[in-house]
């Protein structure tokens, strides 16, 4: 069956069912990412992990996704898109089950790497009322159902040509990304000027440079680096990095603030995130329509400016900030994210020649995964450094005796319990300030992105022949009534 005939057949059978099957897979991925963020504080205690080490439950997952994404195009041509989708769903389900039985932090990180907006609410409910491990087990039935549905609905695509795997390109980009993230994540504990961190940065740079050289020479590159010859696409990647930094810094750190500082239960913390998630879901399709009408410049500039303002508001957080204020501020932030994200990606890919579109889409996915991981690692390290320094500085003020501050003198009257309470209050205020400082930094980055967005122009897709690979398509047989 030819591709044209298959397309006609697919149209005659309707698009609702295949789209529904794809939504199952997308929902499972988004659900997993969002509910895990809510469960981070509980997992920290259950797995006896430190705050900086627990970040690898998230960063290991997203880095693995970023590393594997360049392979998906080749795998789809090699074994067929339908078979790849089914194997991916089943593999995700199996890895989710392994995460559910993880017995310590090391096994959890390993299983999460293998595994690579109701989500926050569902995650909070499972963590608070049942067991945090169910945030992984819930993926198992979804994955199985999704794989079965894909087998029944999707056409069987049998490639008749098999491009060779760019193995050296894959190895160099995989090591380069891993070494870079490891350096960012462990820089604080290992020492930024230490030989281990410097060695990781240097080897990462060399490996990524080798990747670039290899991709420019091989016949079938994982990612065609000619995409970077298009200035509009490079600009879109920069703005995408800004948007992802703001989005994931909020998704990761705000649930921790709500639970560790304000003392909310996991379900309540998830519910606080619901209004902003709803805003994001509603705004993204609207942003696509705006792009069609007025182009990318205005939606992206306004969106990033709204992200900057929302982040500035979040930088005013205190241990006593009302829940309604946090919901409003995060909604303003996500209003900007929803306006900016789709036009940014569309503007970049539409500027590329058709033959380069798959590479552009693949690099977008890699950028999203890597930047989200780096942002969490960098902001986590900054928070740890700030907290340590602020505790030293402010603890030195808590001297006792004749020179004691009034609040210290009052606490001394209550004895050791009074001083302990004062110290706990100090620790809470210091931790809150580290979160505030991070949101200030995100606000500055987003504001700079809003100014850069003024350079965006509506792109006309360059003419060019798209690359082609022969395939044979067999539609699933269906019994007649």
User: For the segment 134-169, what is each residue's pLDDT rounded down to a tens digit?
Assistant: 655 666 776 777 677 777 766 666 666 666 778 898
Average pLDDT over residues 196-222: 91
- Measured CA distances, 274 to 309, 314, 324, 341, 373 (Å): 20, 16, 12, 19, 23
Neighbour count for residue 126 (Cβ, 10 Å): 24
> What integer pLDDT is reported at residue 385 of this predicted model?
80
Provide the pLDDT confidence category of residue 236 given band limits of 50, 70 and 90: very high
92 and 143 Cβ atoms separated by less than 8 Å: yes
**Enclosing H/E stretch for 157:** strand 156-159
User: pLDDT tens digits, residue range 210-224?
Assistant: 999 998 888 888 888
Is the separation of the CB atoms in 426 and 287 below 8 Å? no
- Alpha carbon distance 181, 376 (integer Å): 10
- Residue 306 pLDDT class (50, 70, 90 cuts): very high
User: What mean pLDDT comes out for the span 340-360?
Assistant: 85
Using a pLDDT cut of 90, give the percent of the chain over it. 19
Distance CA 360, CA 402 (A): 67
pLDDT at 424 over 80: no
What architecture does CATH give domain 3-166+218-474? Up-down Bundle (1.20)
pLDDT value for 265:
79
The pLDDT, as a whole number, for residue 302 is: 95
The percent of residues in the chain predicted with pLDDT above 70, rounded, is 59
Digit-coded pLDDT (tens) for 34-90: 556 666 667 777 777 766 666 666 666 666 666 676 676 666 666 666 666 677 667
Evaluate if residue 354 carries a pLDDT over 60: yes
Do 273 and 330 touch, CB atoms closer than 8 A? Answer: yes
Task: Parse the chain into domains and list their residue ranges.
Answer: 3-166+218-474
Distance (Å, whole) CA 469 – CA 471: 6
Question: pLDDT averaged over the chain?
Answer: 74
pLDDT the model gives residue 92 = 67
Q: Answer whether residue 244 shows pLDDT above 60.
A: yes
Section 297-319 average pLDDT = 94
pTM: 0.70
User: Residue 108's pLDDT is what?
Assistant: 59
pLDDT score at 139:
65
Helix or strand holding residue 159 (H, E): strand 156-159
Q: Which of 156-165, 229-238, 265-274 has the lowest mean pLDDT?
A: 156-165
> What is the mean predicted confidence (pLDDT) over 240-245?
91
The H or E element that residue 472 is part of is: strand 471-474
The pLDDT of 171-179, averaged and rounded, is 85
pLDDT of residue 479: 42
Mean pLDDT of 288-292: 83
Max mean pLDDT among 120-124, 127-131, 366-370, 468-472 falls in 366-370
pLDDT of 451 over the 80 cut:
yes
Contacts of 393 (CB under 8 A, 6+ apart): none
The residue behind tokens 């200035």 is 231
Q: Rounded to whole angstroms, how far apart are CA atoms 269 and 34?
A: 12
Q: Which tokens belong to 34?
A: 């969002």
pLDDT band at 13 (very low <50, low <70, confident <90, very high): very low
Mean pLDDT of 159-180: 79
pLDDT category of residue 308 using cuts at 50, 70 and 90: very high
The arithmetic mean of pLDDT across residues 90-102, rounded, is 68
Q: What stretches of 257-405 show up as alpha helix (H) in DSSP? A: 266-294, 297-314, 323-350, 357-395
Question: Is the pLDDT score of 9 beyond 50?
Answer: no
Instruction: State residue 72's pLDDT score.
Output: 66
Given pLDDT bands bounded at 50, 70 and 90, which one contains residue 208?
A: very high
Phi-psi region at 158: left, alpha or beta (left = phi > 0; alpha = psi -120 to 50): beta
Q: Is pLDDT larger for residue 456 or for residue 344? A: 344
pLDDT at 468 over 50: no
Q: What is the pLDDT of residue 271?
A: 81
């Amino acid at each position: 069956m030819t591709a044209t005939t298959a397309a006609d057949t697919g149209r005659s059978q309707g698009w609702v069912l295949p789209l529904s099957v794809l939504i199952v897979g997308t929902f499972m991925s988004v659900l997993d990412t969002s509910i895990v963020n809510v469960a981070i504080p509980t997992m920290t205690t259950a797995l006896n992990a430190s705050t900086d080490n627990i970040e690898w439950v998230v960063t290991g997952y997203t880095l693995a996704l970023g590393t594997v994404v360049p392979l998906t195009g080749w795998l789809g041509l090699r074994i067929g898109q339908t078979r790849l989708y089914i194997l991916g769903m089943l593999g995700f389900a199996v890895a989710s089950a392994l995460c559910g039985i993880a017995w310590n932090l090391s096994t959890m990180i390993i299983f999460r790497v293998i595994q690579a907006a109701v989500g926050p609410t569902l995650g909070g409910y499972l963590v608070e009322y049942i067991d945090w491990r169910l945030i992984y087990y819930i993926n198992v039935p979804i994955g199985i159902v999704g794989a079965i549905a894909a087998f029944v609905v999707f056409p069987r695509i049998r490639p008749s040509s098999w491009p060779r795997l760019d193995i050296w390109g894959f190895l160099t980009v995989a090591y380069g990304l891993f070494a870079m993230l490891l350096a960012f994540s462990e820089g604080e504990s290992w020492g930024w000027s230490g030989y281990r961190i410097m060695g990781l940065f240097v080897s990462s740079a060399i490996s990524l440079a080798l990747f670039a050289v290899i991709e420019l020479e091989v016949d079938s590159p994982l990612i065609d680096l000619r995409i970077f010859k298009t200035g509009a696409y490079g600009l879109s990647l920069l703005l995408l990095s800004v948007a992802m930094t703001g989005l994931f810094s909020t998704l990761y750190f705000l649930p921790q603030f709500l639970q560790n500082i304000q003392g909310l239960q996991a379900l309540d913390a998830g519910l606080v995130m619901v209004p902003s998630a709803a805003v994001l879901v509603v705004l993204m399709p609207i942003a696509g329509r705006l792009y069609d009408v007025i182009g990318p410049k205005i939606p992206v500039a306004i969106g990033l400016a709204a992200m900057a303002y929302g982040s500035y508001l979040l930088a005013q957080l205190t241990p006593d900030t009302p829940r309604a204020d946090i919901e409003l501020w995060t909604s303003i932030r996500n209003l900007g994210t929803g306006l900016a994200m789709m036009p940014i990606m569309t503007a970049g890919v539409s500027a590329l020649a058709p033959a380069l579109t798959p590479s552009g889409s693949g690099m977008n996915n890699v950028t999203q995964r890597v930047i989200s991981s780096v942002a969490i690692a960098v902001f986590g390290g900054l928070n740890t450094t700030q907290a340590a320094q602020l505790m030293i500085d402010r603890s030195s003020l808590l001297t006792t005796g004749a020179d004691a501050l009034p609040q210290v003198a009052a606490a001394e009257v209550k004895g050791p319990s009074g001083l302990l309470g004062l110290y706990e209050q100090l620790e809470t205020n210091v931790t809150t300030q580290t979160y505030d400082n991070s949101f200030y930094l995100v606000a500055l980055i987003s504001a700079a992105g809003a100014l850069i967005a003024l350079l965006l122009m509506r792109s006309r897709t360059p003419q060019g022949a798209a690359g082609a690979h022969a395939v044979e398509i067999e539609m699933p047989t269906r019994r007649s009534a």
